[in-house]
Structure 1
Amino acid sequence: MTTFHDRASTPATLTTRFDRLAASLSCWLRSGAVQNPNGAYSGWQAASGDLSSPYPEITGYMLTFLAHEALDDAERQRADAASRWLASRVEHGDHTCRLDREDGIYLFDIGMITNGLLSYGRRTADRRLLAAGRTAAAYLIEQLGSGPMVGGVRPQGTEPTWSNTGSAHLLKVLQALLSADVHGVPGAAEAAERLAGTVADVRPPTGTAPVETCPGSELVSLHAACYAAEGLWVWSEARGATDARAQATRIVEWVWQQQLSDGGFTTYAHKDGGPIGNRWQSDVLAQAIRLAVLLSVEPDGLPAASDALANSMYHDDGRSAVLYWPQAEDAHSNCWSTMFAYQALCLLSGEPAPTWHELV
């Protein structure tokens, strides 16, 4: 098996390539290419240059990313503008998560908003941001409540999906709850314990995928499965939970079994194994690589996946972005895929692993 996460054993040409690509991704993210005049970040930029709607969850992700980057004055101003926009929404009690879907509330998104505000607030020692982060965390804890774990409030007229009816992906919200506990939010630790136990204890039948992302469906969202594994990794790092790490490893090993022969990963796989379709989805690709390194999983397909990721990028004047569906005719440059890929490439180049609160 070939591994790339040990710099001493990685060919210098590969290390240099991964370093260069990671730097170009960071440059695009820090440039504000997908930032709106009001400070909010969009999820993607179309091939035409148009931005998608401002996206609170992705703005939260960006604040977590920017909180751990070296920023120049212009980049710091852009980060400050994003934090003010997100804090203002929380202060006004606006918890809607899709500006193009007025009635949609997703607890996963609230978690990423919470962690972003607390991360950047800690970086800048900004009391307003920390207060907004605590407020968002309190809302998240209230919504998680003591009933069944579900993804949030499904907008009227939309179909059930992993994001609005599933619960496995909510394991990544453990990051926000752990951060909230660090910042003294009442009930955060208890909510984290309950979430870790309730969701992680759902064990699908033997011989099927080790995680259920779409209740009532024969399909597994590989993106949501990776979110579940990321949350379990966070929990294992923060709490020393070896059982959580073992479960995360089982999920990641299964995800890698769904890899396409050309190195990529699709959107869905069958519960009993086998990818559906042959179109690459770059966020899954980046997540699978990042998790393989974090959990010391050594799949044979890792070199092919790293090549696929490198070939899924748009390059322009020293800046690069990851294309969401790189094989599409008008592939868009995707913000969250680019963040995931940045951390994956840093790991491939032998950089230290992020701490649990740095993961985007």
Structure 2
Amino acid sequence: MELPVWFEVATFVGLTVLLLADLALVVRRPHEPSVKEATAWVVFYVALALAFGVVVLAVTNGQFATEFYAGWLTEYSLSVDNLFVFVIIMARFQVPRKLQQEVLMVGIIIALVLRGVFILLGAAVIERFTWVFYIFGAFLVYTAINLVRNRDEDEDYEENALIRRMRKVLPITKDFHESKIRVTEGGKKYWTPMIVVFLALGTTDLLFALDSIPAIFGLTKEPFIVFTANIFALMGLRQLYFLLGGLLKRLVYLSIGLAVILAFIGVKLIMEALHTNELPFINGGEPIEAVPEIPIWLSLSVILGVLVVATVASLLKTRGQTPDDDERPQVAGGEQQVQTDDSGRTAAATEADEPRRT
């Protein structure tokens, strides 16, 4: 069964209006949401995703609805993992709390654009070359292994070569100027630290898109389901950032849970590639019928079960623990404490934020 065109068009129009309204709210009223406000928005977006799955079930069939829920849960869990890096970036660049909503919104828009591009490319490649599932599956298994191997390492954000190059070449002001990325001081044009923050978020989103798109294509081949699952997973991420704050530190087993999910989907992709094999050096180019297919309901059950176990185990492991004041991100309350040099300026400002003239 194919998805009705009118349903796809209506969905994209509705989601576009919702995203634009959310963006307008951030631009008109930049602030740090309270716990009550953030909770209300997160509950709203989660309920909206659950309701959309019911609508998909009513309009199409249970197969598409189950694929949507499985994809949404997978992308949502990967998005929560993405929040860890967002917290580090905000603290690393000392983004003022009142500006963090705008920064996160830009990061989410960048993520949507990048994932949209990857979805279109992935759909086109899969339609022509089914053997690409071997590559996707192997990549997800490799990513899962790395998540387990690096789970005990201290998380720290390292600037990539592009950002380091920008710092050396561009004249950058010491302070943020609201959400502006370009200002004039003393008759000369300068970039603000916001341009570096946006670039850091963009490159991070790119890396996460490389994981998320192969993962969801392992659950459904329908581009509409892939894209809507990604949109619903990203909506409400901004409010979830403020809601969780330092509590992200308590999800100590999230990386292991994600590793299990990615490895499971990777194996599922490889099994599907074997079941529809066309490579001449594998079984003479013939499909291997003996390889079983994993039904989507089983995939959904595994994903949901792993997330529940990882979350409950994390909360039990860290029961009674709270983030240390000096490690708590700015969104968790309290101004970030930084060391100062003899002139009273912050070390970070001295090193990175002073205007650079070329």
Structure with the larger RCO, 1 or 2 (CA within 8 Å, 6+ apart): 2
Greater C-alpha radius of gyration: 2
Q: Which has the higher helix share?
A: 2
Q: Which has the higher strand share?
A: 1
Report the TM range for the smaller structure's normalisation: under 0.3
Scaled by the length of structure 2, the TM-score of the pair is 0.25
